[in-house]
Amino acid sequence: MSKLFEYAPAPESPSIARLKPHYGIFVDGTFRAGRGEAVKTVNPATEEPLAEVAEASAADVDDAVAAARAASEPWAGLPGSVRAKYLFRIARAIQERARELAVLESLDNGKPIRESRDVDVPTAAAHFFYYAGWADKLGYAGFGPNPRPIGVAGQVIPWNFPLLMAAWKIAPALATGNTVVLKPAETTPLTAITLAEIIAECDLPPGVVNVLPGGPAVGQAIVDHPGVDKIAFTGSTAVGKMIQKSVAASGKRLSLELGGKAANIVFDDAALDQAVEGIVNGIFFNQGHVCCAGSRLLVQESIHDEFVAALHDRLATLRLGDPLDKNTDIGAINSAAQLARIRELADSGVAEGADRWSPECALPERGFWFPPTVFTGVSPATRIAREEIFGPVLSVLTFRTPGEAIEKANNTPYGLSAGIWTEKGSRILWMANRLRAGVVWANTFNRFDPTSPFGGYKESGFGREGGRHGLEAYLAH
């Protein structure tokens, strides 16, 4: 579809991010140089270095765990209403620095500013607000009259929602009286370190939160550390399985939020334009770097051609480019390694006989980019129908009956999320009862709210984050 009109560029200035040349690790309430190798974090949209980040070493992990242990009893012993005040303060400080955090996130991650500004940062603040509300009401949360914290929580997070994942991990842990050693992902450490700065400014007692940038070795050192009582991990299923083996028989509590291959199911009675919007949002939001992305479109056979044509029309209007431009819909892929993985899987789709389509779309010369891509004629046995691509690639399959839709949707080792598009309320309930997925959206997709639990079935992990349920992962029982 030809563009009706062009948008003038509307970029945010990178200077709003207040980038520093060097970032340290945060241990026992202070920033210091890590004893690991210093690495440069790059802007995936330009491949230019943004800052040097000091990575933690195993000795730094020891120090952070010792600091978290020493802070543990005093923190747990505070009245819940006092812990709540700190959480409220952090939430307010995130809001006050929202624009800076949004620009920083888009620079480090490559996601469009529209998303970091309207989703990542406000939802991160909302998590702190929400869990602040629980801190003095834990006895009424349904986990006994006097629930106790677990102790020191080791938390390892991925790169797709760097600030938001840190908030999902830290807020419930603090509300329940735990202390934290958190490791951000190696390609996106900057907003987690800035969150540590905010936490220090909010006068949180030293050692309650420690932030250790670094790679897999730092994550492994946290997981294996005998001074850690609980591990909370968000990341790939492969690493989640390794972590589960490492902590087996250690007595550590574990929650895993892993990968997904969600089915987004469109029936012939759905409001089609609304469904097209939902499918586009479901897979192209955050370049498809979303664990619950609707990466498999299951469309009822009778409307397949009409629906795919409408999808093509809509995709032709998406704008790919500068993540800091407020008009951008699709930003950069987070790293060269992730881009290589997306390319390899997309190529396998062609090799296995599916039809590949992308809108006309010029990719910038520098940086890591992949065009929005739709595969039709996808057979359920192929890699693009089964493996998590974690990129802007949609696989379209068809079904005839609700029973067949359920069978195909559940035919995956994952079980994180699913979407249903239909006018019939009874069908929504019938489907939702049969879908083996932790979250089922109906006539919407990718909606996140701190009051709502989120988590998986099967190889998508176990434990829930968010809502009252999210408290349980941090309470001893």
What angle do the packed helices 80-96 and 190-201 form, to 10 degrees? 120
Amino acid at 351: A
Parallel/antiparallel/unpaired status of strands 38-43 and 48-54: antiparallel
CB of 159 to ligand NAD, least distance (A): 5
Report the candidate in 251, 322, 262, 328 with the shortest Cα–Cα distance to residue 291.
Answer: 262
Window 433-462: residues binding ligand NAD (CB under 6 A): 456, 461
Residue 183 in contact with ligand NAD, rule: CB under 6 A = yes
Window 284-323: residues binding ligand NAD (CB under 6 A): 291
Alpha carbon of residue 465 to chain centroid: 12
Cβ(358)–Cβ(373) under 8 Å?
yes
Residue 207 in contact with ligand NAD, rule: CB under 6 A = no
Report the candidate in 211, 17, 194, 180 with the shortest Cα–Cα distance to residue 93.
Answer: 194
CB of 233 to ligand NAD, least distance (A): 7
Residue 219 in contact with ligand NAD, rule: CB under 6 A = yes
- How wide is the angle at C-alpha 307 spanned by C-alphas 7 and 422, nearest 5°? 110
CB of 60 to ligand NAD, least distance (A): 15
Q: Give the residue, chosen from 12, 108, 257, 472, that forms a contact with ligand NAD under the rule CB under 6 A.
A: 257
Q: What is the DSSP letter of 309?
A: H
Window 405-434: residues binding ligand NAD (CB under 6 A): 416
CB of 185 to ligand NAD, least distance (A): 4
Hey, which residues are catalytic here?
257, 291
Site string for ligand NAD, 96-135 (x = CB under 6 A): ----------------------------------------
Tally of CA atoms within 13 A in the half-sphere of 427 that contains its CB: 19
Residue 259 in contact with ligand NAD, rule: CB under 6 A = yes
Cβ(162)–Cβ(105) under 8 Å?
yes
Tell me whether residue 215 or residue 227 sits nearer to ligand NAD (CB atom): 215
Neighbours of 326 (CB within 10 A): 14
Residue 159 in contact with ligand NAD, rule: CB under 6 A = yes
Cβ(257)–Cβ(291) under 8 Å?
yes
Q: Give the residue, chosen from 54, 185, 198, 232, that forms a contact with ligand NAD under the rule CB under 6 A.
A: 185
Residue 155 in contact with ligand NAD, rule: CB under 6 A = no
How many residues make contact with ligand NAD (CB under 6 A)?
29
Within 8 A by CB and 6+ apart from 8, the residues are: none
Window 225-254: residues binding ligand NAD (CB under 6 A): 234-236, 239, 242-243
Tell me whether residue 150 or residue 165 sits nearer to ligand NAD (CB atom): 165
CA–CA distance from 444 to each of 276, 389, 447, 448 (Å)?
Answer: 10, 22, 7, 11
Residue 220 in contact with ligand NAD, rule: CB under 6 A = yes
Interface with ligand NAD (CB under 6 A): 156-160, 183, 185-186, 215-216, 219-220, 223, 234-236, 239, 242-243, 257-260, 291, 388, 390, 416, 456, 461
